[in-house]
Amino acid sequence: MDWGMIDRYAKSLIKEAGHRIRVSFAREIQIDTKDDANDLVTDIDKDIEQFFISRIRQDFPDHRILGEEGFGDEVSSNEGVIWILDPIDGTMNFIHQKRNFAISLGIYADGAGMLGYIYDVMADDFYHAVRDGGAYRNDERLPRLERTPLNEAVIGINASWVCPNRYVDHERVAGLVKNCRGTRSYGSAAIELAHVASGRLDAYISMRLAPWDIAGGSVIVGEVGALTTDLRGREHDMLTKGTFIAARPGLHETILGEYIHLKS
Ligand code: 2AM
Ligand code: CA
């Protein structure tokens, strides 16, 4: 497999998709809801996913595509090459703010993350990583992450998890919020992972993420030495929804050991 060629192809596809999204702001965006009233999707999410899929199917007919909006393949095994795509991660930001959303793409071979991309479209920040080749922001290499103690750590976490919820003991999470240096919430898992990769956040935690939210980001943060698992400390399964943490070494153990008690 010529990963260098696939890398160049993916970058150019993502840049073109970013351009299409920016141009789309000139027209009226159609907004729908999915499973619940706050789970939003627009016609642009769907258009962009279809744009990727038609190109990838034309140029890599034996690769499979797992996309959030469901225009790709039914993927139930890790075999072969799988492109895992979120055409717009942070759709609520896209609608409400017209910024702070990203295109997220991970390319996996037999379950191993080979290439990862996060494109923060409005900031024009392009993050990418090549397995065993390092991670980059706008082609500048990101340094390896050092250990940080919890009292000096800035943690990406959504305020929902400090309210009573069905996934996790919220009082423990409140202890985490109290004992770290500060918390931030950006509303896009991909952008939060980009921040972990570049050291702007020291950890990112969520109770409910899908493969396309984290496929690209996992490859990128892995290349700078962050640990990524589910909240039980197990390897994250790239084909199912679940809990997730990405953190600097040291912090990962502290957060899981002392502050996360899952309910089931
Ligand atoms: P999205 O914008 O692509 O839907 C928001 O906190 C983050 O969680 C975003 O990355 C968002 O992705 C993701 N998210 C929101 N609802 C989700 C759901 N029901 N399942 C999985 N991920 C979700
Ligand atoms: Ca999305």
Instruction: Compute the distance from residue 4 Cα to the ligand 1 centre, in Å.
Output: 30
Burial of 51 (0-12, 13-18, 19+ CB in 10 A): middle
Residues 10 and 114 in one domain: yes
130 and 154 housed in the same domain:
no
Same structural domain, 68 and 174: no
Closest ligand 1 atom to 90 CA: 2
Same-domain pairing of 26 and 127 = yes
Query: What average pLDDT does range 210-238 have in this prediction?
Result: 96
Judged by average pLDDT, the poorest of 26-30, 48-52, 121-125 is: 26-30
Same structural domain for residues 28 and 126?
yes
- Residues near 6 by beta carbon (within 8 Å), at least 6 away in sequence: 60, 107, 114, 115
In DSSP terms, 58 is beta-bridged to none
Q: Are the C-beta atoms of 125 and 218 separated by less than 8 Å?
A: no
Q: pLDDT-based confidence at 222, cuts 50/70/90?
A: very high
Specify whether 131 is located in the same domain as 166: no
**Which residues fall within 8 angstroms of residue 55, CB to CB, at 6 or more apart?**
13
Handedness of CA 48, 54, 58, 62 (dihedral sign): positive
Lowest-pLDDT range, 37-41, 159-163, 171-175, 246-250? 37-41
Is 13 inside a domain boundary?
A: yes
Domain count, the chain: 2
- Residue 181 placed within a domain: yes
pLDDT value of position 35: 87
145-161: pLDDT as tens digits: 999 999 999 999 999 99
List, in sequence order, every residue forming a beta bridge with 130; answer none if it has no partner: 115
> Which of 141, 165, 189 marks a domain boundary?
141
Residue 188 beta carbon below 6 angstroms from any ligand 1 atom: yes
Tell me the residue range of the domain where 166 lies. 150-258
Q: Are residues 71 and 201 in the same domain?
A: no
Q: Which of 188, 236, 240 to mutate to test the pocket of ligand 1 (most atoms within 8 A of CB)?
A: 188
Same domain (yes/no): 20, 130: yes
Q: State the first-to-last Cα distance of the chain, in angstroms, to the nearest integer.
A: 41
Q: Is 192 in the pocket of ligand 1 (CB under 6 A)?
A: no
CATH classification of the domain holding 110: 3.30.540.10
Note whether 176 and 241 are same-domain residues: yes
Report residue 236's pLDDT band, with 50, 70 and 90 as the boundaries: confident
112, 141, 170 - which closes a domain: 141
CATH no. for residue 172?
Answer: 3.40.190.80
Specify the ligand 1 atom closest to the Cα of 36: 19
Q: What is the DSSP string of 185-233?
A: --S-HHHHHHHHHTTS-SEEEEEEE-HHHHHHHHHHHHHTT-EEE-TTS
Same domain for 7 and 135, yes or no, is yes
Calpha distance 3→116 (Å, rounded):
12
